[in-house]
């Protein structure tokens, strides 16, 4: 018995019979039932590219925009809808720096990633400044003790030159928020990569990351996020 990480109420939940029969998958609940119920798992029809919950299985407007900009499709798998509860969760986890919250979804996201046997896991990095003030990288928090490859690091983006004065290639290059870490190209080449981030909003971050990894010779690049 412990306290819910979100509302601090006591969690007295007993494991179900099904959980008892699969001893390995038991972990004490860290959220109470009423907090859990506010998070909505993505199920049913989704955008076939980014994994957004929809009423149909057509390509969503964000993905159409990426197509129009000439970006290669990036297949993303997301676990939960980015609803009010999830936004509040991210606020408490990232901006208030409540590191305990990583436990709320880490088992689930790790189980999903383990299904991608043999894939190299590349987490989206945070800037050194963010890491200092927050004290952690929220993506690594979710990934727990899975083996990850720190292939990406943030780079300084020069915002001094107006975007309108650049062509698309220049824009992609100057907007690129990441660069490869030293020696990462050798690790990436020929590998299947799954890039992991906490939230997929417009997809910009993940598209930039995927672009860089493909350029470096990755065999395939897909992504996974906790929320979309």
Cβ–Cβ contacts within 10 Å for residue 131, how many? Answer: 15
Measured from the CB atom, the residue of 7 and 161 that comes closer to Zn ion is 7
**Minimal distance, residue 178 CB to Zn ion, in Å:** 21
Q: How far apart are CA 101 and CA 98, in angstroms?
A: 6
Tokens matching residue 43: 């199920």
Bridge partners (DSSP) of residue 222 are 194
Q: Please, what is the minimum distance in Å from the beta carbon of residue 30 to Zn ion?
A: 9
Contacts with Zn ion by CB under 5 A lie at 4, 6-7, 32, 35, 47, 49-50, 60, 63
Give 8 or 167: the residue with its C-beta nearer to Zn ion: 8
Q: How many CB atoms lie within 10 A of CB 96?
A: 10
Distance of closest approach, residue 38 Cβ to Zn ion, in angstroms: 9
Q: Nearest distance from residue 47's CB to Zn ion, in Å?
A: 3
Q: What is the closest distance, in whole angstroms, from the C-beta atom of residue 43 to Zn ion in the complex?
A: 16
For residue 207 the two structure tokens come to 């598209």
CB nearer to Zn ion: give 104 or 113.
Answer: 104
For Zn ion, the closer CB: 32 or 119 = 32
Cα separation, 106 vs 146, whole angstroms:
10
Q: Which is nearer to Zn ion, 37 or 133 (CB)?
A: 37
Cα separations in angstroms, 14 against 1, 11, 26, 27, 32: 9, 9, 11, 11, 11
Find, among 34, 37, 62, the residue nearest to 48 by Cα: 62
Q: Which is nearer to Zn ion, 8 or 165 (CB)?
A: 8
List the alpha helices (DSSP H) in the chain: 17-21, 33-36, 61-68, 84-90, 103-114, 128-134, 138-143, 168-175, 184-188, 204-215
- Give the shortest CB-223-to-Zn ion separation in angstroms: 12
């Amino acid at each position: 018995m412990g306290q819910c990480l979100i509302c601090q109420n006591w969690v007295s939940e007993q494991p179900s019979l099904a959980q008892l029969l699969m001893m390995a998958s038991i972990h004490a609940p860290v959220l109470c039932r009423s907090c859990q119920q506010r998070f909505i798992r993505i199920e049913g029809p989704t955008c076939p590219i980014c994994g957004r919950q929809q009423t149909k299985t057509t390509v969503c407007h964000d993905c159409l925009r990426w197509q129009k900009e000439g970006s290669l499709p990036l297949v993303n798998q997301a676990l939960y809808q980015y609803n009010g509860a999830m936004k509040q969760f991210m606020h408490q986890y990232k901006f208030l720096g409540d590191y305990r919250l990583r436990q709320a979804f880490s088992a689930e996201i790790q189980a999903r990633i383990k299904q991608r046997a043999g894939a190299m896991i590349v987490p989206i990095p945070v800037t050194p400044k963010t890491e200092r003030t927050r004290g952690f990288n929220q993506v690594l928090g979710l990934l727990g003790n899975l083996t990850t490859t720190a292939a990406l690091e943030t780079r300084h983006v020069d915002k001094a030159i107006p975007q309108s004065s650049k062509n698309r290639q220049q824009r992609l290059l100057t907007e690129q928020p990441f660069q490869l870490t030293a020696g990462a190209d050798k690790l990436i080449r020929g590998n299947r990569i799954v890039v992991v981030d906490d939230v997929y909003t417009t997809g910009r971050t993940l598209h930039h990351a995927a672009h860089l990894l493909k350029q470096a010779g990755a065999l395939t690049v897909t992504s996974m996020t906790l929320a979309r």
